[in-house]
Amino acid sequence: MSTYIYKARSIQGGIEKGSLEALDQGKAVSLLQEKGLVILSIKETEDLFKTRKSTKKRHFRIRVKTEDLASLSRQLATLLDAGVPLLRCLDIVREQVEAKPLYSALGKVTKDVEGGDALSVAMAKHPKVFSEFWTNLIATGETSGQLPFVLIQLTKYMESTASLQRKVLSALIYPIILSFAATGALIVFIVVVIPMFAQLYSYFGASLPVLTQVIISLSAIFKRWLPVMVIFIAIFAVLLVKFRTTEKGKRFFDKLKIKVPVINALFYNVILYRFSSGLSMLLKSGVPILYALEVVAKAVANNLYENIIVQAKDKVREGDALGTTLNVFSEEFPPFVTNMIKVGEESGNLPVMLGHLADYYQEKVETVIARLPYIIEPAIILIIGGVIGIIVLGMFLPIFGLATAVNM
């Protein structure tokens, strides 16, 4: 038996959507025609999502991407909206998954739902795959009976977030590669080129300027201690990664992101985008504002802002307006944000105003991303080029002196 999704016109002229089980498409068409329906479209679910055959060897990815979750939510929304039973939906979408953790989690979720658990409860058992943000939205959709609508909202949010992540990564990866390449060139210059000049000058027994002597001495020290420096840097990197996983480390790096010049403009706008878009979607989906603030506090992925939003939630619980509460934190939430929130609260259209804020900060992020390479690249070139220029000048000063002596 196969599952077919159909769209048909009833005798009364209305549009009817749903799903049915049949041996083949011909039998499915016959069953629908017996009900007096005029078929507008009919597709097998396996054809709709190009389900993988179980006999084909699967090649899984280790990491779950944001795109995987966006695709999952869109497929679930499509199937549920067409009337396909939830368990069948989970079986179908699981066969599309390319990430091993998500594939395994969906298998367990299906068994739990079959055993009587709600979808949100079953997903909440896998926090490494399905975030609290995700499961809370699913729970809201189940409670309100609007799960397909909530899933569509979630899809839009995930796709927008994934697009932004790709753009941020693209903006940062080129300057990082350029930094490594320039640093590598500088190391080769110090370790290989300078000793060659030093050996040449030593052979002629030339009297060297102070700058040249300093550069040669620093080169000799650097070359001698290079293995120790590599080991030290490796140990420091490991300790830094471990420190990054601690609460103190998270607070330090999260604060650093919004304090360091140039890159702070990027992360600052990304955080405000996450806050406004996440809160807008939660409120549109029917999540109470206190619960929405608790969820979005974790979704912003910044410890400093998380603490501020939690404090704001407590004030809102006491009866204060959100815009007034956030106005106290003017450095983190600019007047534009708090005023837009106040207008939304006063007009009763807070989700809509937050949506406008999200659009505004998404455009700002994209503008910063477009400009970032043009700011960072010249800075890197100037710094590394300046260092190499001083080295070149120092190494060629004796030659200039020799040429002047010959002319005299």
Mean pLDDT estimate for the chain: 82
Q: What is the mean pLDDT of residues 386-397?
A: 84
The pLDDT score that the predictor gives to residue 405 is 45
Residue 53: pLDDT band with limits 50, 70, 90 = very low
Task: Please report the beta strands in 26-155, taking only residues with DSSP state E, as ranges in sequence order.
Answer: 38-44
Residue 242 pLDDT greater than 80, yes or no: yes
State how far the Cα of 305 lies from the Cα of 231, in Å rounded to an integer. Answer: 36
Which position has the token pair 């005029």? Answer: 38
Residue 408 pLDDT greater than 50, yes or no: no
Q: What is the mean pLDDT of residues 271-298?
A: 87
Residue 67 pLDDT greater than 50, yes or no: yes
CATH architecture of the domain with residue range 153-408: Up-down Bundle (1.20)
> Cα–chain-centroid distance for residue 269?
14
Q: What is the mean pLDDT of residues 307-336?
A: 91
Identify the weakest region by mean pLDDT among 4-8, 191-195, 257-261, 370-374. 4-8
Q: What is the mean pLDDT of residues 166-193?
A: 82
Q: What is the mean pLDDT of residues 328-351?
A: 91
Tens of pLDDT, residue by residue over 125-154, are: 998 888 888 888 888 888 877 888 888 888
* Partner residues linked to 19 by β-bridges: 5
Tens of pLDDT, residue by residue over 351-381, are: 999 999 999 998 898 888 888 777 777 888 8
Of the candidates 135, 121, 72, 142, the residue with the CA atom closest to the CA atom of residue 101? 72
CATH architecture of the domain with residue range 51-130: Up-down Bundle (1.20)
Residue 79: pLDDT band with limits 50, 70, 90 = confident
The pLDDT score that the predictor gives to residue 357 is 93
State how far the Cα of 218 lies from the Cα of 209, in Å rounded to an integer. Answer: 14
Residue 3 pLDDT greater than 50, yes or no: yes
Separation in Å, CA 157 to CA 89, 373, 402: 21, 27, 68
Q: 197 by DSSP, 3-state: which?
A: helix
Pick 26 or 312 by higher pLDDT: 312
**C-beta separation of 262 from 375 below 8 A:** yes
Q: Containing H/E element for 22?
A: strand 15-22
